[in-house]
Amino acid sequence: MADIKQFAGNLQEFLEYKKEEGFRTLEISPETLALLKPAPASAKPAVRPSAPRSAPLVAPQSSIRVTGKTLEEIAGQIRICAACPLRTSRKNTVPGEGNPNRPGIMFVGEGPGADEDVQGRPFVGAAGQLLDKMIAGMGYKREEVFIANIVKCRPPGNRVPLPEEMNACVPYLKAQIALIKPKIIVALGKTAVQGLLQEEVAITKFRGTWCKYEGIDLMPTYHPAYLLRSPGKKGEAWADLKAVLAKLGREPPSKKTNE
């Protein structure tokens, strides 16, 4: 039988993800609903933790040993990687792209989608178009930053990468970060934060909170795909990006007025 604490943690993560995805109701069978009936009144009520972060995840050791000494060599190793089942359904690997020479910002997302899988480039679909606008709004060009993902192959159906897939692939990202040496990392969404920090977080509570990854300032914010589904959250994401600019000693460019 599964450990009850592990089951509860997985259930909480699933429900938080569904909430962030925009779901407000879920179908539950009568049998399952009966199992979820309230405890007797005499039972001691559960104490809900107030902190948005939980204990660090216990991640299995990855079998990957990154041998590449350059980004090109790492991309070549990713291209032939067979460390997890995602290799069986991918069309192309998506190692990442952008400025490799200590850029001001490195954006890290979840994983490739259908468009990225076809083109072998990160963030080129609808979410990528929004990310391009976010980057431009900060006063940067796409080629001036670096863009990558936690996993380098598309999960089937664009599902969230499984923990074992993330843990298998993260050494590639760590090696890329060590070479690129970005001044600030912007983690796009819950999965990116989890993959980098190995901690469970509720992104709706944790976004906008500065933290560190290997000594590098890290800003968690919403994934562009989530912002497409929840445009009302764009203001919060923009506040996070303005905090990034402030940390870099920059200001958003002024909007051009119509002549």
Place of tokens 């001044």: 183
Residues of the chain with pLDDT under 70: 1-62, 256-259
CATH of 71-247, one of 3.40.470.10, 3.40.50.2300, 2.102.10.10, 3.90.226.10: 3.40.470.10
Domain range summary for the chain, segments of one domain joined by +: 71-247
- Helix, coil or strand: residue 154: coil
**pTM, entire model:** 0.77
214 secondary structure, DSSP code: T
Give tens-digit pLDDT for 110-125.
Answer: 999 999 999 999 999 9
For residues 257 and 154, the answer to whether their CB atoms sit within 8 Å is no
pLDDT at 255: 72
Are 123 and 81 spatial neighbours (Cβ–Cβ below 8 Å)?
no
Q: CA-to-CA distance for 222 and 207, rounded, in angstroms?
A: 7
Query: What pLDDT, in 10s, does the model give residues 70-129?
Result: 999 999 999 999 999 999 999 999 999 999 999 999 999 999 999 999 999 999 999 999
